[in-house]
Structure 1
C-alpha cells in the first residue's frame, strides 16, 4: 500500500474563492432575458411531467458535464466531475450550478463515473467505467478535501474470468457507487441482458482487492448513479430519466427490496445523485447536459 500526498496547491484550490468571484462577475449576454424565459418554460414542462422534480440550477463556467455528485462541506454545495475524455478535475459547485472552485487531481481520468462519500468527509472517486468490460486497471481513489492525503484501491471483480466476456455476460461496467459502514458498494450497468445490476463490495481501505459479489438487483434501467439516505433505509439508483428506490428497515433490508420505479421524463442523461444530508425525502440529481434537479419523494 502506498499513500500519495496531494500538493498544497490542490488543497488550496479546493477552497479557493477566485473561481467563485470570477463566475459572479460574469455578465449576461444580450440574449439573457430570452434564455431565462426559455429555461422557465422548460422547468414548467418538467415540473408538470414529474411531480416533485424541479430544476434548480445549470452548470456553467468551465464544468463540462456532471458524471458523479457528492455533498460538499457547506449545505447547498456539491462536488462533481466529468467522465472519460475530460481532464482529471474535481469541481465544487453550488446548487445553482455556479462554479466555486476546481482542482486538478494527480491521477488520470480513464473513465471516472461516480463519487461516493463516507461519514468522515472522505470522497471516493470511482474510476470504473468499463463500457467494453475489458479493463484491468479499475481503481477507487480516496481523498479528503480537508487534508493532503490521497490513497487508492486497485481492484478486479472476483467473478470476472474473461476480458471481455461474451456479450451476454458483459455486466462489469460500474457507473454507480455509494459508501456505507466501512464499505464501498459498486452497482453495475448491465450491458449484456440489460435486466440486472450486480452489487459488489470493497473495503474502504486502500490496497489491492477483489470486489466481492454481494447480490443482484432485478432492474429494467441501466444504473448510472447511486446513494443511500443518512438513516440507511433508502437506496436510490439512478438510470437515464428514471429513478429506482429500494426501501427497508435497514440498509441490508433495502438491498433486498423490490425496486420502485419513478419516471423522470424530460430530465435528460441523469448521472449523479445524492440525498440531502438532513432530509431523507429529498434528492439532488445532475445530468451530463449540465442540469441540476431537486426531487422530493412522493
Structure 2
C-alpha cells in the first residue's frame, strides 16, 4: 500500500463518526467562460444562475453567469479591492459576503470580508460594500514559523448573525488541522473568535479546505477540498465540526474551489481552469451519493 493510501485510511479513521463513502458523481452543467478561469467562489439565488468571483490578481467584480456558461452581468464593487478573494456566501436576507482572506504566505494583516446588498436587485453596474475587518488573535508573527502556518483561508459560510471561517492549512510538515473562527456579520473591526480545531487528514493534496456552504435549513454543512467533500450533519453550533462527518471522494482531482447549495439536497461546485482541465460548473445530488447500503442480512 502506498504512503498516500495509508494517509487516506488514517484520515478516515480519525474522523469522529466518520464514514468513508464511494466516489460521488458530479454532473457537468456547463463550461464556464474562459475569462473566469480562476473562479474561487459561487452562490445561487434562483437555482438557475450563479454569482461568481475570482481570486488574487483579478478585477474587483462579481459576475452573474447562467447555466449555459454565459455572463449575464458583472458588477464593480465600491470601496473594495481584490487582494485575494476566495469564497462567497449569503445570508437569509439576501446579503452577499465576499471573503478577502486568501493568505498563502500567512503575512497579511489586512483581512476583510465585504458585505453587499442582494446583487440581484442592483439595477446599475456598481454595488456598494461594507467592510468587516478582522484579525486572528492567535497569530503573533507575520508570517509565523512554518509549523504554524494556519492562517490562510478559502472557506466560509454564514449562519445566524455570524460568519464561520475554516482555515486552509499550509504547515510544513503538514499536520492536517484546520482552525475554525467566527466573526460578526456586521460592519466593523474584530478579533476573530477561535471556536475549535478540526483534523481533516494527512494528505495536503486532498484535505485542505477550499470552500464551504450550509444548506438553507441549516442541517447540512458541506466543506470542499481538492477532490474531497465533507458533509456534516447532526451538529450543534458553534462546534459543528464535532457532528456526524461523512468524507466523500468526488473522483475528480482538479482545482475545485467553489461550492454552494441550491435547495437542501443539491450542491453546485466549480473548479479553476488549468490547461485542458477544469473550468466547469457541476451539480451533485446528495440523495444519490448518500443512499443507504441495501440490507441483505437475514434475507432468505
TM-score under structure 2 length normalisation: 0.78
Quick check: 1:233–1:250 contact (8 Å CA) kept in 2? no
Match of 2:183 in 1: 202
Quick check: 1:82–1:112 contact (8 Å CA) kept in 2? yes
Match of 1:153 in 2: 132
Q: 1:42-81 to 2 correspondence within 5 Å?
A: 50-60=23-33, 62-72=35-45, 74-81=46-53
Give how far 1:170 is off. 0.4
Q: Does 1:261 align with 2:261?
A: no
Separation of aligned partners in 2, 1:143 and 1:86: 19
Q: 1:239 to 1:249 in 2, by over 3 A?
A: closer
Residue among 117, 125, 134 paired with 2:98: 125
Separation of aligned partners in 2, 1:103 and 1:218: 38
Match of 1:239 in 2: 225
Quick check: 2:195–2:238 contact (8 Å CA) kept in 1? no
Q: 1:130 to 1:253 in 2, by over 3 A?
A: closer
The runs of 5 or more residues in structure 1 that have no matched partner are: 1-48
Match of 2:298 in 1: none
Match of 1:285 in 2: 269
Give how far 1:124 is off. 0.6
Q: 1:1-298 to 2 correspondence within 5 Å?
A: 50-60=23-33, 62-72=35-45, 74-106=46-78, 107-144=80-117, 145=119, 146=121, 149-192=128-171, 193-220=174-201, 221-248=207-234, 250-252=236-238, 254-266=240-252, 268-276=254-262, 278=263, 280-289=264-273, 290-297=279-286, 298=289
Quick check: 1:59–1:65 contact (8 Å CA) kept in 2? no
Separation of aligned partners in 2, 1:177 and 1:269: 17
Separation of aligned partners in 2, 1:75 and 1:179: 18
Quick check: 1:225–1:238 contact (8 Å CA) kept in 2? yes
Deviation string, structure 1 residues 100-125 (Cα, Å, up to 9, x no partner) = 11122232111000111101111111
Separation of aligned partners in 2, 1:50 and 1:248: 22
Deviation string, structure 1 residues 168-215 (Cα, Å, up to 9, x no partner) = 110000100100001011110011134111110000010110111011
Q: 1:252 to 1:156 in 2, by over 3 A?
A: closer
Deviation string, structure 1 residues 140-161 (Cα, Å, up to 9, x no partner) = 1100123654211111012111
Separation of aligned partners in 2, 1:90 and 1:157: 27
> Which 10-residue stretch deviates more, 244-253 or 118-127?
244-253
Separation of aligned partners in 2, 1:218 and 1:182: 26
Give how far 1:75 is off. 2.9
Give how far 1:255 is off. 2.8
Larger helix share, 1 or 2: 1
Separation of aligned partners in 1, 2:252 and 2:177: 24
Q: 1:188 to 1:222 in 2, by over 3 A?
A: same
Separation of aligned partners in 1, 2:162 and 2:281: 28
